Amino acid sequence: MPVQETVILLDIEGTITSISFVKDTLFPYVTNNLVNYINKLWGKEKLEIDLELLREQAAIDSNSELEGFVPIVSGDNAKQSIIDNIRWQMSIDRKTTALKQLQGHIWKEGYENGVLKGHLYEDVLPVLNKLIKLGKRIYTYSSGSTNAQEYLFQYSMYGDVSNVFIKYFDTKMGPKNSVTSYTNIANDIGVNCGDILFLTDILTEAEAAIKAGCNSALLERPGNAPLDPEKSSTFKIMKTLNELLEN
């Protein structure tokens, strides 16, 4: 029988889009366009909202022991310190809301000018559309900002497919390896955790979802990090989403 849960909650990177798209296309786009973007919008409210989040995060980080931390300063060196802080965060692949929000806004320009097209595995849309016809509700939960998620689907390689998803969740719900994040999402949707099937390629995320009372399965896509055979042995491991429809 097809999947029994009423809510399908999807990770994005490594689950429905390839890791290589994120690592080899999206991240380099930010790196290559960061300085021009900052210079173009410097002093404008659109950018200042993002910069305020970055300053708040830097204040938190200043009290930590993160290796290579780059402070954000005021005065003549303010702009360069912000650029350097962003580059530092990206170099260690941080998932802070501040960084992800700024990245999403930079990607938006790339999508709108046609340079970027959101990648989706070929099985994703056919399966999700069939699940919707079966009455399933589709959501995403990613470390990327909700805006960045929406842009990926709005400007995908298959056109605008954003209508497939009811809502996008990001780290405002909490870290993806935190149990409370999944209870927060269930509460937001208005269902019990047991009504949710969370699909991801990351074992610690799947474990957190299970501890919250959700159900979870793991995706083994090309280019994903290998799963630990012992630790992942209790999970259903899928090659494609087609397995959600199998008897």
CA distance 140 to 116: 20
Q: What value, to the nearest 5°, has the Cα angle with vertex 155 and ends 129 and 239?
A: 45
CA distance 144 to 168: 10
* Beta pairing partners, 10: 140, 199
Residues placed in the known binding site: 11, 13, 142-143, 176, 201
Residues placed in the known binding site for substrate: 142-143, 176
How confident is the model over 163-204, as pLDDT tens digits? 999 999 999 999 999 999 999 999 999 999 999 999 999 999
What pLDDT sits at residue 141? Answer: 98
How confident is the model over 210-242, as pLDDT tens digits? 999 999 999 999 999 999 999 999 999 999 999
Q: Which domains does the chain have, with CATH numbers?
A: 7-17+118-245 (3.40.50.1000), 23-112 (1.10.720.60)
Question: Taking Cα atoms as reference points, which of 180, 179, 152 lies closest to residue 12?
Answer: 152
How confident is the model over 128-151, as pLDDT tens digits? 999 999 999 999 999 999 999 999
CA-only gyration radius of the chain, Å: 19
Residues placed in the known binding site for Mg(2+): 11, 13, 201
Query: In the Cβ-directed half-sphere of 161, how many Cα atoms lie within 13 Å?
Result: 19
Give 72: exposed, middle or buried? Use CB within 10 Å, 0-12, 13-18, 19+: buried
What pLDDT sits at residue 1? Answer: 61
Beta strands in the chain, from DSSP E residues, in sequence order: 7-10, 137-141, 167-169, 196-200, 215-219, 236-238
CA distance 77 to 85: 12
Question: Could you tell me the pTM of the whole model?
Answer: 0.91
